[in-house]
A and B are shown apart, each in its own frame.
Chain A
Amino acid sequence: RKEVEQDPGPFNVPEGATVAFNCTYSNSASQSFFWYRQDCRKEPKLLMSVYSSGNEDGRFTAQLNRASQYISLLIRDSKLSDSATYLCVVHREYGNKLVFGAGTILRVKS
């Protein structure tokens, strides 16, 4: 079993739609959680951190459920420019490693 599991998609949605991605992690020692975004043939870039209380950044909302070891990302009012692969990432403080999920592909269409 992979340490971080994501639905690979693709999620094909129209502009303006709301879309949600989920992610589960297996290592309960994971301390910090993130969503990274990777555009086609580009490097991954940090989208946002994920906090236990849930956090929002514009159209993006991230949530963490430590009991269920589950992370989510909600995108409201999808834009064409949101088309990318979204990587769920956990950070293990022991060993200072980021462990990346395989990514979920989002395609927003007009």
Chain B
Amino acid sequence: DAGVIQSPRHEVTEMGQEVTLRCKPISGHDYLFWYRQTMMRGLELLIYFNNNVPIDDSGMPEDRFSAKMPNASFSTLKIQPSEPRDSAVYFCASSNRDRQETQYFGPGTRLLVL
């Protein structure tokens, strides 16, 4: 079975540009999570969905960040406009309802905003 798929794997952009990160969770998983990892702050939960519905977005840093999950097999995290401090590795993870605490992570998107 394929694991969590993320694209792009690497993104370099200039400040002010829009960035869209994509995620395909493991088929059959009900929960989808977006995390950000930096050296300074470690791994932080940004938002999570249950059955495509956003449940908790308290970790989203500000209005420049938005996330959607239009169907069970696809989610996006968008940053508009991007800033250098958004540079980080963004991970998507998914889990199923029976083992919610066991999350499977995608390979991540390394974002560099110049």
A interface list, Cβ under 8 A from B = 32, 34, 42-46, 87, 91, 95-103
Contacts and interface: CB of A to CB of B under 8 A. Distances in A.
Contact of B45 (A32, A43, A97, A101): A97
A94 to B, nearest CB: 11
B62 to A, nearest CB: 20
Contacts, number: 38
Nearest to B31: A96
Interface of B: 31, 33, 42-43, 45, 48, 50, 55-56, 91, 100-103, 105-108
B107 A34 contact: no
The 10 closest A-B pairs by CB, nearest first: A43-B105, A91-B101, A100-B43, A102-B42, A32-B101, A44-B105, A96-B100, A43-B107, A43-B108, A46-B102
Given A32-B101, A96-B55, A96-B100, A87 B43 contact: yes
B11 to A, nearest CB: 15
B45 A98 contact: yes
A45 to B, nearest CB: 7
Given A32-B101, A91-B101, A44 B106 contact: no
A95 B101 contact: no
A82 B33 CA distance: 27
A104 to B, nearest CB: 12
19 contacts: A32-B101, A42-B107, A43-B105, A44-B43, A44-B91, A46-B103, A87-B43, A96-B100, A96-B101, A97-B48, A97-B56, A98-B33, A98-B101, A98-B103, A100-B42, A100-B43, A101-B42, A102-B42, A103-B42
A45 B48 CA distance: 18
Given A43-B106, A97-B48, 9 more contacts: A32-B101, A34-B101, A43-B91, A45-B105, A91-B100, A91-B101, A98-B45, A98-B101, A103-B42
